[in-house]
């Protein structure tokens, strides 16, 4: 079902005013984690002003250490819904277990994180929903494995899957992960599904987000998902890779120039 051989036309996914897989790249932006009403609503209004079409924000956080901030969980979803109401932006947030699904009724796009890309039982359950799924590539997954995970969702009847490259594990330590830009044309030739790039988790460094964003757009990505925080130095998660709203505004302008030149 994910293969272009059996479905030659591009899949286009619409949520609110946002079109994913259409002519123009879609920009998703927001903090790694929802931290407070002031934070999520403030960032939502800022990124909207700069041209983001979808708001991101984690409520359930898959942290490496159990002693790190685990997210505001159900309260985080409530605050995201507040930000959705205030800004009018559709929202995307990560699910970690199918028991959390009832909390996602008003969430527009459900994110499956890199660590859950091969949680096949979760994928099967999400295949029974009617919500678009943002499926992130696993830390050490091949593109074939990513597409098979999409297949798990699609075989349940849910064909609205967005593929996301977020960097993979290599021997390189200068960046958090290694951004595999070549996956964009490879996935687009193998599949009709939209392909977006997450330069924040791919690099782990705020100053690398702009150049990798421009490169992803130049390589034909259908969109970007970017971490933006009102005060990166004090962020509860991933501050070192988060852009300020002002830096995001600059980045959005430079992305527009690259997109216009294609």
The footprint of ligand PEP (CB under 6 A) covers 32, 58, 62, 113-115, 136, 166, 198, 201
3-state SS class at 80: helix
Find out whether 71 and 33 touch, Cβ atoms under 8 Å. yes
Q: Give dist(CA 107, CA 99) in Å, integer.
A: 15
Q: What is the closest distance, in whole angstroms, from the C-beta atom of residue 241 to Mn ion in the complex?
A: 7
Nearer residue to ligand PEP within complex by CB, 131 or 136: 136
Task: Answer yes or no whether residue 134 interacts with Mn ion by CB under 5 A.
Answer: no
Binding partner selected for residue 31 from Mn ion, ligand PEP, none, CB under the kind-specific 5 to 8 Å limit: none
Residue 206 phi/psi, 5° resolution? Answer: -55, -40
Query: Which of Mn ion, ligand PEP, none is residue 1 near (CB under 5 to 8 Å by kind)?
Result: none
Nearer Cβ to ligand PEP (109/154): 109
Does 236 interact with Mn ion (rule: CB under 5 A)?
A: no
* Nearer CB in complex with Mn ion: 80/154: 80
CB-closest chain residue to Mn ion: 32
Residues 238-257 that bind Mn ion (CB under 5 A): 238
Pairing of strands 133-136, 161-165: parallel
- Using CB positions, name the residue nearest to ligand PEP: 113
Query: 114 contacts which partner out of ligand PEP, Mn ion, none, CB within 5 to 8 A by kind?
Result: ligand PEP
Q: Does 94 bind Mn ion (CB under 5 A)?
A: no
Q: How far is CA 53 from CA 48, 187, 209, in A?
A: 7, 23, 18
**Dihedral angle, C-alpha 120, 125, 130, 136, nearest 10 °:** -30
DSSP character at residue 101 = G
Whether 202 contacts 212, CB under 8 Å? yes
Q: What share of the chain is helix, strand, coil (3-state, %, to 5)?
A: 40, 20, 40
Instruction: Say whether residue 83 binds Mn ion (CB under 5 A).
Output: no
CB of 33 to Mn ion, least distance (A): 7
Q: In angstroms, rounded to a whole number, what is the distance separating the alpha carbons of residues 96 and 149?
A: 15
Identify residues 30-69 at the interface with Mn ion (CB under 5 A).
32
Q: Which does 113 bind (CB under 5 to 8 A by kind): Mn ion, ligand PEP, none?
A: ligand PEP
Output Rg (C-alpha) for the chain, integer angstroms: 17
Name the minimum Å distance from CB 31 to ligand PEP.
Answer: 9
- Which residues would be at the binding site for Mn ion (CB under 5 A)? 32, 238
């Amino acid at each position: 079902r994910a293969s272009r051989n059996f479905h030659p036309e591009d899949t286009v996914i619409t949520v609110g005013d946002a079109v994913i897989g259409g002519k123009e790249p879609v920009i998703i932006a927001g903090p790694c984690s929802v931290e407070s009403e002031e934070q999520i609503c403030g960032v939502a209004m800022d990124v909207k002003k700069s041209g983001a079409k979808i708001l991101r924000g984690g409520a359930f956080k898959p942290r490496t250490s159990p002693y790190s901030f685990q997210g505001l969980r159900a309260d985080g979803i409530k605050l995201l819904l507040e930000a959705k109401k205030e800004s009018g932006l559709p929202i995307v947030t990560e699910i970690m277990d199918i028991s959390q699904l009832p909390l996602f009724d008003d969430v527009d796009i459900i994110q499956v994180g890199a660590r859950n890309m091969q949680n096949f039982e979760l994928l099967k359950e999400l295949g029974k929903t009617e919500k678009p799924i943002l499926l992130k590539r696993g830390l050490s997954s091949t593109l074939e494995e990513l597409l098979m995970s999409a297949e798990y969702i699609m075989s349940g009847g849910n064909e609205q899957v967005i593929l996301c490259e977020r960097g993979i594990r290599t021997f390189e330590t200068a960046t958090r992960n290694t951004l595999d830009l070549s996956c964009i044309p490879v996935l687009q030739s193998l599949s009709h599904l939209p392909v977006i790039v997450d330069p924040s988790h791919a690099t782990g460094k705020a100053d690398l987000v702009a150049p990798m964003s421009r490169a992803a757009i130049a390589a034909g990505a259908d969109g970007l998902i970017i971490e933006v925080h009102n005060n990166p130095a004090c962020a509860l998660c991933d501050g070192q890779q988060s852009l300020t709203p002002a830096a995001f505004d600059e980045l959005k302008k430079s992305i527009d120039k690259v997109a216009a030149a294609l």
